Chain A
Amino acid sequence: MGKDNQILVEITSKEYEHGWAVDVDTDSAPIGLNEDTIRFISKRKNEPEWLLEWRLGAFRTWSKMTEPKWANVSHPPIHYQNIIYYSAPKQRVTPKSLEEIDPEMLKTFERLGISLTEQKRLTGVAVDAVFDSVSVATTFKDKLGELGIVFCSFSDAVKEHPDLIKKYLGSVVPVNDNYFAALNAAVFSDGSFCYIPKGVRCPMELSTYFRINAANTGQFERTLIVADEGSYVSYLEGCTAPMRDENQLHAAVVEIYAMKDAEVKYSTVQNWYPGNKEGVGGIYNFVTKRGLCAGDHSKISWTQVETGSAITWKYPSCILKGDYSTGEFYSVAVTNNHQQADTGSKMIHIGKNTRSRIVSKGISAGKSQNSYRGQVQILKRATHSRNSSQCDSLLMGDTCGAHTFPYIDVENSSSRVEHEATTSKIGEDQIFYCLQRGIDEEAAVALIVNGYAKEVLNQLPMEFAVEAQKLLALTLEGSVG
């Protein structure tokens, strides 16, 4: 109960908080994209031949694809040849300990509230910090290692656990899945890898923190989580970027593989730079996130709080292949000024007695457009399956738009699907009631919006929930009155 209040007190800044950039010496790929770029990236990362081939295959696939146009967003054409696909902080050697990491970079993460140094670490959260294209540090590695948990940068995983990577890379999001996934497969630079062995319950939250720093750079990270039989892990993801006038592309892929009885909870607080009030700059966030409930009784739960990015294109999904498997999607998406979000979820029911739940809360303000796009598909053999979806939209003003595009396809007669959507606004009566109790309008809006989004925010781990509530309030500042 205390956390809302604390947040309201803390809200003082009006602008995007994380909009600064730091000078860190970088090692970058030449601008543009061709097979040489991919060889460059692969070589820089000392990758094995099979991975280079995999990337080149992806590049060839991508070259034949066209950018999808179906999302309810508009933007000037993206010039894929004007992007730098690899940018790494210059580090002569791989840091063996934190002392060897560029102090400028350590400070960057400190400023973001993420301490990589031992004594200041958040207890109970292990962090993998990704700066531009590479992972710079992973904390608590040893402690997790004792349980057999692998939590490291993707590059390290390729070297240290090639069999796992070979087996699961692309197993949930195949190379040719979509345009941005193919692009990612070709040029991904780093990311996090996590493996939870059979029967292990990960004792702490695992977290990846992404930071785009360099200009003209795209960020293409890849996360792979493999949860073996009966294991459990809760995973958090955060992200920020400097304020820049040009748009930057972020095309990430997250794959989750859950075996029998495994449970994975994946939470995101997405706070990429959204562009300024006139809609200049900001991140294009085109992300493919998908989980495969491969085993019976497995469960994957996505929670996302989307406040940043100029454009968000993102549909965390669950493929419910195992019988009795469960998929969940909880989302709050806030758009203000000129932001555009087209986000939602897909639940594909393949196994029998599978369950899914979708809760989406959209909040639109300013001149923004906020779309929910989702699909619930119950295949013929997925008998006795259930889905319930709730999609609510809150509009603030008549210059923004709220859209819902749910696709519901049911192919057997023993399953049951329920979908509900509503649209509302913040009542003047609600605001006045708060005012009469001494709560000013900005705080009242924050309070009401947080109440509206509560069902989703409740899904987040405590540390993230606080951050998320602050963000909601910040994003909507100045949108009332």
Chain B
Amino acid sequence: MLDITNLKARIENKQILNGVNLRVNAGEVHAIMGPNGSGKSTLASVLSGREEFEVTDGSVDFMGKDLLEMSPEDRAREGIFMAFQYPVEIPGVSTINFMKTALNKIREHRGLPAMDAVAFLKVMKEKMKLVEIDQSLLNRSLNEGFSGGEKKRNEIFQMAMLEPKLAILDETDSGLDIDALRIVANGVNKLRRKDNAIIVVTHYQRLLEHIIPDFVHVLYQGKIVKSGTKDLALELEAKGYDWIKNELAIA
């Protein structure tokens, strides 16, 4: 589904990604871990198409198409979803209205007719249950005055609504207490299917106790330096990132 080859990117002359290789197949969950400043969030940003980052080398193939050639909105329409680490507030625009606009843009792109209000509401009610989110929250201005947990839950709700092929969860666990973490993780797990894939970007292992990954990669100095199964995450948790750094230093 996603094929990243030798991806290099920088922001304002600062090289951050130094040749990332990663292959994600349908049905898989990949975790990308790494110490602060290793380039995890940059990778997520580059995949979603943030303009501040300049891709200097490499390629990204998404379902047979060149992802890097696409505008951010086309990536979204092709099925890439980013759950933001810091979801932005948009005053006066309700989540419901926002989602209806987004969903119909995506449907239009896929040659589907626009969903009418009744059908939309029906779908919305289903997905609300999935992520345990209350409608009163969705009636309010997007993310405005939401708690950290509410913002993250809203991200997962949007993921449920838009049914992406590839979802990238950028530090979704940051700022969440145990209960909120469980709700968010449960939501994500319910959305796991054979025909979609998820990339979980995280600093800590604790989210991975709830969303069990098929593969774990360690990103360090802009490269994937180690890959393994979920056990790698546990090992990292036990030994700390210094373990990786030392190992690399020796090598």
* A residues neighboring B (CB under 8 Å): 1-2, 4-5, 8-9, 427, 429-430, 432-441, 443, 447-448, 450-455
Contacts and interface: CB of A to CB of B under 8 A. Distances in A.
Given A1-B97, A9-B114, A439 B102 contact: yes
Interface centre among A427, A437, A439 (most CB of B within 10 A): A437
Contact of A437 (B71, B94, B96, B162): B162
A435 B78 CA distance: 12
Interface in B111-168: 114, 117, 141-142, 158, 162
A5 B104 contact: yes
Mostly helix, strand, loop or mixed at chain A's interface?
helix
B64 interface: no
B30 interface: no
Contact of A5 (B50, B100, B141): B100
Contact of B92 (A9, A433, A454): A454
A438 B77 contact: yes
Interface in B81-103: 81-82, 84, 87-94, 96-102
A433 B101 contact: no
A202 to B, nearest CB: 30
Contacts of B49: 435-436
Contacts of B48: 436
B27 interface: no
A437 B98 CA distance: 9
11 contacts: A1-B96, A433-B84, A434-B102, A435-B72, A436-B84, A437-B76, A437-B105, A438-B109, A439-B101, A443-B101, A450-B93
Q: Dominant SS at the B interface?
A: helix
B141 A451 contact: yes
Contact of A440 (B105, B117, B141): B105
B88 A430 contact: yes
Contacts of A451: 90-93, 141-142
A438 B92 contact: no
Given A5-B101, A429-B88, A447-B98, A436 B82 contact: yes
A1 B94 contact: yes
Given A430-B88, A451-B92, A438 B71 contact: no
B231 interface: no
Contacts, number: 94
B209 interface: no
Given A1-B97, A433-B88, A455-B92, A438 B162 contact: yes
A254 B231 CA distance: 76
A355 B174 CA distance: 46
Interface of B: 48-50, 71-73, 75-77, 81-82, 84, 87-94, 96-102, 104-106, 109, 114, 117, 141-142, 158, 162
Contacts of B141: 451
Nearest to B82: A436
Most buried by A among B102, B117, B158: B102
B125 to A, nearest CB: 14
Given A451-B90, A452-B92, A440 B101 contact: no
B101 A447 contact: yes
A433 B105 contact: no
B146 to A, nearest CB: 13
A5 to B, nearest CB: 5
Contacts of B98: 434, 437, 447
A432 B45 CA distance: 11
B105 A439 contact: yes
Contacts of B88: 427, 429-430, 432-433
A27 B5 CA distance: 76
A455 B97 CA distance: 15
A437 B100 CA distance: 11
Contacts of A437: 76, 98-99, 102, 105, 158, 162
B112 to A, nearest CB: 13
Given A436-B73, A439-B102, A454-B91, 14 more contacts: A2-B117, A4-B97, A5-B97, A430-B88, A435-B49, A435-B72, A435-B73, A436-B76, A436-B82, A437-B158, A441-B73, A447-B97, A451-B91, A454-B93
B93 A448 contact: yes
B106 A438 contact: yes
B138 to A, nearest CB: 10
A432 B90 CA distance: 12
Contacts of B99: 437
Nearest to A424: B91
Contact of A435 (B71, B81, B91): B71
Contacts of B96: 1
Contacts of B106: 438
Nearest to A455: B92
Nearest to B107: A438
Nearest to B52: A428
Contacts of B72: 432, 435-436
A432 B101 CA distance: 15
Contacts of A436: 48-49, 72-73, 75-76, 81-82, 84
A448 B90 contact: yes
Closest 8 CB pairs of A and B: A451-B92, A451-B93, A454-B92, A438-B76, A435-B72, A437-B102, A429-B88, A438-B106
A1 B141 CA distance: 12
Contacts of B105: 437-440, 443
A432 B142 CA distance: 14
B117 A1 contact: yes
A466 B163 CA distance: 30
A433 B87 contact: yes
